Structure 1
């Protein structure tokens, strides 16, 4: 089977969650027996990634996957003919949308990897209200188109499957739950002494979007610090843009931006606990990353975090401040957990498990 893969996320955003899943798909598809893989994407005219891609003749920014004019040119003007010329039999897109525009040719099958539907259900960051409305409208059209033409829709959790069915019940027969790949960090953790982090700290990773619930969580942590004497300091990886102005610069709050994987590895490993307070999460990559290094977690209930977190890990309602503050008081004095069961749990999201799930879905499409 000759397979084509949308490579725009991997080329343009290689360290993002969606970019990493693009790389994971590349690996799983290349390892499928009897298949060959072709990559499709955009790039500037002089960019070296062009040597690996089927790309349009015109130059495009490497990070233009979300720019509407570039998207429509790629998906409508370039991709249909490029897939035909490359004799692709199965095409996979993994940016929640992005399948070719126009009528699907006979004999060509499509797969859509749908991470979540927060583009439609949540208020995400945009430059203006007008821009937000335009993107919500065009994203809805594009997602609906991709859901309609897809032969299979791969989602990372039952939560995302349920949300998809709630909004688009007609897609039921196409849905397959394929949890994401979460690999362990390569190599040894870096020396992070220069970051000047405290000896004891709690950790949150991924803080930007409003659904991450960071302002609410930081307020509860601040209250807990006043109520209980042994609450650890807090490290936020990803910035403090989502916080209220009066929360930035709080005593005991540390904000890290743009750190590499080797430093992130160490930050996870040295944390006393990862907290994930998101009120809506399609998968929850930081939870598995923490578990892989043996760091215990506490998560908000009500989304995919219920599925991917060990059943005996602490949970809290993402709007009950009083209950969260009490839980913080309890966990601040809790005994250390055995790290091996946490690592064993995380192993179910490793490379071989992901390959097996992808290969099984591909066999259905033969």
Structure 2
């Protein structure tokens, strides 16, 4: 079986959440005895990606690969012809959209990896209202086309499956759960970045409004004024993602560009990981924390309900009173010494379980 894999997310940002899942899928597919993997992407002329993936003859700028006109050219001009020429049996689009535009080649089946539908259901980060409206319209068409033409749709959680079935009820029979793979850190914990306190809470990911960071920080600040036991917050993100008057509050520590060893150390040494998102399609930081035995506190109402263990403290992300009660309660409660149960819970998102589920889905497709 020849499998074509849309490798663009890994080319653009291999350490992003989606990019890392493309790498995980690549690794799982190359280890299958009956599978020949063909990577397909765009890249600048002379870029090393052109040595390992099939790319269009035209030059491509990595900064522009997500622009609609660039995506359209790749999906309309390059993919259909390449799938036929390479005799691809199965093509997997990996970023919510991206299946070829046009008539499907005879004998080729399509899979769409649908991480979430927040491009359609939530306000996303854009520099202008006009850009946001344009991207909302284009993304709606792109996602709807890929959902329509896909033979099977893989979502990382039941929550994402349910959202897809709600928006595209005619596609319900195509939806399947394939949990994200969360591998162990390959590097041992390194030294923590300079300037961090001995005790801190950790938040990972601040860019999108659905992460609910500003509202959480406001309630953290109020709780901290009333209770001196509330610790500092370490945020993996950029202070420009929220209003300056919040981003510069005392007790906030902003970090970015960490090595894997530093990120590992950040998780290991945190008292708790907090995930206050209004919506998550999976919740990768939650599972990363659990894998190293760090306790988590999560918002209710999305995929976080699935990935966090039953013992985790939960709160309504829209209720400030409930958030402040959780903050004070957790601040006064030292983390349990029982980290092994957290590590065991996270095993369901490791490679053996991932590969077994992937094999099941491929067999269902006839491969």
Q: Distance in 1 between matches of 2:248 and 2:133?
A: 33
Cα distance in 1 between the residues matched to 2:72 and 2:300: 38
Q: Is the 8 A contact 1:159 1:303 kept in 2?
A: yes
- Residue deviations 1:80-139, cap 9 Å, x none? 011111110100011100000001122110000000001111111112111111111111
Asked if 1:35 is matched to 2:35, the reply is yes
Q: CA–CA distance in 1 between the matches of 2:110 and 2:257?
A: 35
Counterpart of 1:11 in 2: which secondary structure?
A: helix
TM-superposed deviation, 1:258: 1.6
SS at match of 2:154: strand
Deviations along 1:301-340, one digit per CA (max 9) or x if unpaired, are 0000000000110000011111111111111121331111
Contact 1:182 1:349 in 2 (8 A): yes
Could you tell me how far apart the structure 2 residues matched to 1:185 and 1:151 are?
34
SS at match of 2:240: coil
Aligned equivalents of 2:364, 2:108: Cα separation in 1: 14
Q: Distance in 2 between matches of 1:233 and 1:62?
A: 37
Provide the rounded CA distance (Å) in 1 between the counterparts of 2:307 and 2:63: 30
SS in 2 for 1:111: strand
Following superposition, the deviation at residue 65 of structure 1 comes to 3.3
- Confirm or deny: 8 A CA contact 1:96 1:143 kept in the other structure: yes
2:68 corresponds in structure 1 to 68
2:310 aligned residue = 311
For residues 184-222 of structure 1, what are the alpha-carbon distances to aligned partners after superposition, in whole Å with 9 as ceiling and x for unaligned? 111211112x42100000110001110000000001110
Equivalent residue number for residue 202 of structure 1: 201
Q: How many aligned positions are there?
A: 365
SS at 1:234's partner residue?
Answer: strand
Q: What does 1:72-221 align with in structure 2 at a 5 Å threshold? A: 72-192=72-192, 194-221=193-220
Kindly state the Cα deviation for residue 63 of structure 1 after the two structures are TM-superposed: 4.3
Q: What is the rounded CA distance, in whole Å, between the counterparts of 2:171 and 2:117 in structure 1?
A: 14
Q: Which residue of 1 aligns with 2:358?
A: 358
**Is the Cα–Cα contact under 8 Å of residues 13 and 63 in structure 1 kept in the other structure?**
no
| TM-score of the superposed pair, with normalisation by structure 2 | 0.98
TM-score between both structures, scaled by the size of structure 1: 0.98
CA contact (8 A) 1:228 1:329 kept: yes
Distance 1:177 1:138 in 2: 26
Query: 1:241 offset after TM fit, Å?
Result: 2.6
SS in 2 for 1:153: strand
Shift of 1:244: 2.4
**1:30-59 alpha-carbon deviations (Å, 9 max, x no partner):** 122311110001111111110111111111
Q: State how far apart, in whole Å, the 2-side matches of 1:12 and 1:335 are.
A: 41
Report if the CA contact (8 A) 2:83-2:105 is conserved.
no
Whether the 8 Å CA contact 1:8–1:62 is kept in 2: the answer is no
**2: CA distance, partners of 1:349 / 1:111:** 21
Q: Is the 8 A contact 1:5 1:40 kept in 2?
A: yes
Which residue pairs with 2:297 in the alignment? 298
Gaps of 5+ in 2: none
